[in-house]
Amino acid sequence: MFIYRLLSRRVKSAILALVIFIATFFIIYEDTVIISNDSLHSAAAASRAIKVLEKFQISNRPLLSIQEETDKADSGSWNSLKPPFNVTEDERTAWFRKKLPEFDILKSDNLTEQFHGRVLEFFSHECELQAFMTWISPANLFGKREVLGLESFFKAHPNGCLMILSRTLDTPSGYRVLKPLLDGKFKVAAVTPDLSFLFRNTPAGAWFDEMKSGNKDPGEIPLAQNLSNLIRLAVLYKYGGVYLDTDFILLKSFEGLRNSIAAQSIDVVSGNWTRLNNAVLIFDMNHPLLFKFIEEFAATFDGNKWGHNGPYLVSRVVQRVQTRPGYNFTILPPTAFYPVNWNRIGGLFKVPQNQADSRWVNAKLLQLSREAYGVHLWNKQSNSIAIEEGSVMGRMISQHCVICDQIYSS
């Protein structure tokens, strides 16, 4: 009884000392009193002491919360679904077929069955603007900077309705991400998409069925990334509205914009666009250009070339159809949504170091306020760059947020 009362204490150093004492005591005691059973009793005592210590260590180990364990599992699952490199097409297809049950984005279940009804119900309220985003990564990767992008949407459209098509955010952890905006009465929701429904009766239907069968090579680029390119086209074709990537800071209302796509770059001599981008799309339901985009995706899909199924796709199609009758759309200049190219975006995050820098910051902010509807942050290049106080980005976000929490820690 005396021994177990001592073991009930939760002071680790005392337990360790006790373990040593017990082991020593039994060894000495049984050496002198019960010589014939020496090895048996000393081993038993040491074993009991070690088990007690192991039990203490396990029970007092810091435990991850359920959500941390879930996020950790989600991230691990996400990483395991990245296609192998340096393999043949047949080998990659075999890998994909084996991994197919793990691709949640392809699954149909109770959540996907509710998709269409949830969309209709969500947008049945008075919406200043009907907008969609996609999020294909784990919920724990939807960070503060993405939230600031959502805030800028509602700063520009206080009565807008924003739906994020995402299975990972359509969860309790996703709800916690969006809760500050929901508490502010902003209309935002994460909804698991039904891809079979979205692609049905479009040129992508047969392509999707073949991909789900596991008999098609997904390519080296993660399939979910390419599916995001298709989902944005299909959801606008089915419902109409605006599609936005999550790495945008919006500066003004989209009022007056309709059936529009923006150029990413232009020829400085001719003034003609050289590349379009699909990070912002504004189209009516059943627009013929969206149909052409979807048709091109299904006919020319290549999962090995970055951009082939995204920016390059919309550029190819528009180049072919822009002079044909029956397509009513506008190509916006780069200043509308891509005023800073991806290789120069870092400059917007830096604090001015002298008067010349300060003048540049002021001039850039004035230019953006006049010419841009939003600024694409090119997240792949900028997500690791801190927002410095006094920078273009810092001042811009401060003026276009609604909660404005932890801007400089995002």
The predicted pLDDT at position 410 comes to: 67
Does residue 222 fall inside a structural domain? yes
The predicted pLDDT at position 81 comes to: 81
> Is the domain of 208 the same as that of 347?
no
Q: Do the strands 241-244 and 330-332 form a parallel or antiparallel pair, or are they unpaired?
A: unpaired
> Is the domain of 316 the same as that of 394?
no
Question: Contact 241/129 with Cβ under 8 angstroms?
Answer: yes
pTM exceeds 0.85 for this model: no
Say which residue the tokens 């273009």 belong to: 392
Does residue 64 fall inside a structural domain? no
Domain endpoint, select from 312, 334, 356: 334
Domain endpoint, select from 334, 352, 372: 334
The token pair at 285 is 């339901």
Question: Contact 303/218 with Cβ under 8 angstroms?
Answer: yes
CA atoms of 403 and 175, how far apart (whole Å): 17
> Is the domain of 219 the same as that of 252?
yes
Question: Contact 381/346 with Cβ under 8 angstroms?
Answer: yes
> Is the domain of 330 the same as that of 346?
no
What domain range is 260 assigned to?
75-334
State the CATH number of the domain containing residue 280: 3.90.550
> Is the domain of 286 the same as that of 222?
yes
> Is the domain of 233 the same as that of 315?
yes
Does residue 181 fall inside a structural domain? yes
Which among 167, 159, 150, 74 is positioned nearest to 115, based on CA atoms? 167
**Cα-based distances in Å from 166 to 68, 174, 342:** 19, 9, 26
> Is the domain of 328 the same as that of 346?
no
Domain endpoint, select from 275, 310, 334: 334
Does residue 54 fall inside a structural domain? yes
Burial of 63 by CB count in 10 Å (0-12 exposed, 13-18 middle, 19+ buried)? exposed
- For residue 96, the Cα-to-chain-centroid distance in whole angstroms is 22
Does residue 69 fall inside a structural domain? no
> Is the domain of 170 the same as that of 301?
yes
User: pLDDT by residue for the chain (410 residues), tens digit each?
Assistant: 433 333 344 334 444 444 444 444 443 333 333 333 333 333 333 343 333 333 333 333 333 343 444 444 444 455 568 888 889 999 999 999 999 999 999 999 999 999 999 999 999 988 999 999 999 999 999 999 999 999 999 999 999 999 999 999 999 999 999 999 999 999 999 999 999 999 999 999 999 999 999 999 999 999 999 999 999 999 999 999 999 999 999 999 999 999 999 999 999 999 999 999 999 999 999 999 999 999 999 999 999 999 999 999 999 999 999 999 999 999 999 999 999 999 999 999 999 999 999 999 999 999 999 999 999 999 999 999 999 999 999 999 999 999 998 787 76
> Is the domain of 249 the same as that of 352?
no
CA atoms of 330 and 289, how far apart (whole Å): 11
CA atoms of 360 and 39, how far apart (whole Å): 83
> Is the domain of 218 the same as that of 126?
yes
Does residue 187 fall inside a structural domain? yes
| Sign of the C-alpha dihedral computed for residues 125, 127, 130 and 133 taken in this order | negative
> Is the domain of 129 the same as that of 258?
yes
Does residue 68 fall inside a structural domain? no
The one-character DSSP state at 87 is: -
> Is the domain of 220 the same as that of 98?
yes
Does residue 67 fall inside a structural domain? no
Question: Structural domain tally of the chain?
Answer: 3
